């Protein structure tokens, strides 16, 4: 069966109307005007709205929707060690499943088609991904100490089991990776083991890198090298890595990250809210590093809204650099889409072109704040709202359309999520 999305505009051709035809999960044709509709075709009326690639959220912790608003207005170290880590000790599989489903619903409604995630009880996040139809790159969070025995460590065993059970599920809709939480939460020997395993198995690694000044400087005090240099020394960067934050990376760090092909997940709202600082976007791009965009978790953001993230980044870098030309709208859109797909190693995603996966969103151009429409990229970067997303499609399957979730019982999920209030309090 074919799916035809009729009467849409595309970002690079605002004055023309197109139809996009989808077969076997992929875009098979892009036609100016209206195609011939055959018996059995599914037709989606675009109504002159904008069709774009969906967003690829390159860093997050989806089940942290359970902790949304729980520990606000604290610096990162206190937030993490005094509030978040103790609360996470109380997590259960059912809490993680319901919180992941809530996160997925929020992401689908705001145009996200795929997300990268590191957390706990990842089998239950995988279950939510499978049921909802979204894409995800999943890894089990990993921390270690000098006395960690990797031959018996439960976290490492769960990481490997996740890969065995879910990697490549549903024609690659789920990609499983390894995780090293950060330099400051790990010891050298276990990290070498993770790096060796990932290299041998052809897996990517997700990690946090130079998120705060204290993290960066304390690593130098401990090891005599920056966090980037530490990870390079241990072989971590010999694998495909997505490094979240990178606020305090040095010029020499950037050279290493560029040479190693590391992707960076820029999380502007989380970094601003936690007072961590601002990633040096233009310097990273000038170093030919693949910079993607991420929301981080709902406890440090507090929304999983990639359009809001893109718009914050578009304005933030102009302001802190006193340069209105920096971070132009089209570049930010590519960072939120194509670059995110690249970070997730989804080479056939992130762009509307023939042969690519049909991970698409429709955006209402008729909302008052989107009129008149001179430039779709400017609309996306400066005026559009995530509530303007009218359809989200993943692998050619409509998961969200006109405020209706096609695969999620949203009222049930919201009811379960409301029960989480007070769950983590003493």
Q: What is the pLDDT of residues 92-121, one digit of tens each?
A: 999 999 999 999 999 999 999 999 999 999
SS3 304: coil
pLDDT per residue as tens digits for the range 174-226: 999 999 999 999 999 999 999 999 999 999 999 999 999 999 999 999 999 99
Residues 230-253, mean pLDDT to the nearest whole number: 98
As assigned by CATH, the class of the 3-53+355-407 domain is mainly beta
pLDDT at 75 over 90: no
Q: Are strands 112-119 and 13-23 parallel, antiparallel or unpaired?
A: unpaired
- β-strands 389-394, 397-401: how paired? antiparallel
**Mean pLDDT on 33-62:** 94
pLDDT above 70 coverage of the chain, percent = 99
When pLDDT is averaged across residues 281-294 and rounded to a whole number, the result is 98
| CATH no. of 55-343 | 3.20.20.140
Quote the pLDDT of residue 389: 98
Q: Residue 36 has what pLDDT?
A: 82
The predicted model gives 35-40 an average pLDDT of 85
Give the pLDDT of residue 7.
96
Q: What is the pTM of this model?
A: 0.97
Q: Is the pLDDT of residue 79 over 90?
A: no
Q: pLDDT class for 131, splitting at 50, 70, 90? A: very high
Q: Is the model's pLDDT at 426 over the cut of 90?
A: no
| Phi (first) and psi of residue 150, to 5 degrees | -70, -15
* Average pLDDT of every residue of the chain: 96
Cβ neighbours of residue 294 closer than 8 Å, sequence gap 6 or more: 57, 58, 59, 60, 116, 244, 265, 266, 267, 309
Q: Where are the domains of the chain?
A: 3-53+355-407, 55-343
Mean pLDDT of 333-355: 98
């Amino acid at each position: 069966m074919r799916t035809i999305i009729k009467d849409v505009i595309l970002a690079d051709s605002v004055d023309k109307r197109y139809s996009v035809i989808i077969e076997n999960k992929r875009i098979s044709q892009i036609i100016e005007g209206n195609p011939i509709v055959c018996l059995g075709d599914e037709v989606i009326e675009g109504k002159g709205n904008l069709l774009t690639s969906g967003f690829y959220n390159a860093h997050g912790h989806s089940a942290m929707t359970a902790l949304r608003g729980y520990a606000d207005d604290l610096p990162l170290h206190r937030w993490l060690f005094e509030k978040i880590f103790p609360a996470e000790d109380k997590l259960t599989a059912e809490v993680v499943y319901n919180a992941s489903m809530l996160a997925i619903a929020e992401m689908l409604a705001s145009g996200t088609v795929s997300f990268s995630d590191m957390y706990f009880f990842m089998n239950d996040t995988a279950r939510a991904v499978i049921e909802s139809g979204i894409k995800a790159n999943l890894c089990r969070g990993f921390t270690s100490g000098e006395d960690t025995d990797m031959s018996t460590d439960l976290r490492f065993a769960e990481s490997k089991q996740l890969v065995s059970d879910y990697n490549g599920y549903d024609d690659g809709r789920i990609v499983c990776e390894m995780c090293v939480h950060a330099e400051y939460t790990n010891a050298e020997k276990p990290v070498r083991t993770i790096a060796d395993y990932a290299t041998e198995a052809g897996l990517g690694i997700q990690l946090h890198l130079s998120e705060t000044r204290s993290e960066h400087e304390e690593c130098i005090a401990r090891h005599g090298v920056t966090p980037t240099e530490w990870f390079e020394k241990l072989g971590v960067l010999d694998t495909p890595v997505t490094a979240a934050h990178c606020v305090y990376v040095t010029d020499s760090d950037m050279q290493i990250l560029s040479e190693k092909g590391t992707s960076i997940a820029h999380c502007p709202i989380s970094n601003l809210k936690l007072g961590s600082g601002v990633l040096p976007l233009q310097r990273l791009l000038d170093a030919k590093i693949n910079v993607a965009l991420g929301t981080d978790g709902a406890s440090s953001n507090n929304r999983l809204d990639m359009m809001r993230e893109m718009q914050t980044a578009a304005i933030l870098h102009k302001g802190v650099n006193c340069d209105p030309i920096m971070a132009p709208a089209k570049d930010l859109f590519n960072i939120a889409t194509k670059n995110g797909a690249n970070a997730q190693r989804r080479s056939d995603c992130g762009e509307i072109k023939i042969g690519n996966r049909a991970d698409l969103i429709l955006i209402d151009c008729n909302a008052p704040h989107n009129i008149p429409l001179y430039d779709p990229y400017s609309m996306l970067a400066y005026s559009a709202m995530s509530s303007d997303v009218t359809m989200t499609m993943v692998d050619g399957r409509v998961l969200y359309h006109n405020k209706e979730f096609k695969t999620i019982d949203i009222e049930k999920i919201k009811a379960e999520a409301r029960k989480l209030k007070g769950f983590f309090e003493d």
